[in-house]
Amino acid sequence: MNTKDWILLIVPILCNGVIIFILQKIFERKQLSISEKYRYVSVMLRKVDDALALFIKVVQTTGHDQISWLYKFINSYSNVFYYYQQNQELLKSLKSYMDELANEDEKIKNNKDKLENTKIDFETKVCMESSFRKIYELLQSIQNDCINYKV
d(C-alpha 139, C-alpha 44), whole Å: 11
Domain count, the chain: 1
Give how far Cα 28 sits from Cα of 14, 24, 25, 42, 105, Å.
21, 6, 5, 21, 41
7, part of any domain = no
Question: Considering the domain boundaries, does residue 142 fall inside one?
Answer: yes
pLDDT at position 65: 79
23/12 Cα distance (integer angstroms): 16
**Binned average pLDDT, 10 residues per bin, the chain of 151 residues:** 77 83 83 78 89 86 79 88 86 87 85 66 75 88 82 52
Q: Is residue 115 one of the residues assigned to a domain?
A: yes
Query: Is residue 113 situated within a structural domain?
Result: yes
CA distances to 15, 59, 85 from 100, in Å: 52, 22, 14
Q: Is residue 38 part of a domain?
A: no
CATH number at residue 99: 1.20.120
9 belongs to a structural domain: no
**pTM assigned to the model:** 0.70
DSSP string, 112-137: HHHHHHS---HHHHHHHHHHHHHHHH
Question: For residues 109 and 132, is the Cβ–Cβ distance under 8 A?
Answer: no
Show Cβ contacts of residue 131 under 8 Å, excluding neighbours closer than 6 positions.
104, 107, 108, 111
In a domain, 31, yes or no: no
Q: What is the pLDDT, as a whole number, of residue 10?
A: 81
Q: What was the pLDDT predicted at 25? A: 84
Question: Position 97: which residue type?
Answer: Y
pLDDT value, residue 46: 92
What is the residue range of 76's domain? 45-147
131-to-29, 33, 66, 110 alpha-carbon distances in Å: 42, 36, 16, 11
**pLDDT the model gives residue 37:** 80
130 falls within a domain: yes
Report the alpha-carbon distance of residue 109 to residue 134 in Å, rounded: 15
Alpha-carbon distance of 145 to 74, in angstroms, equals: 21
Q: Which residue in 80, 76, 44 sits closest to 58, CA to CA?
A: 76
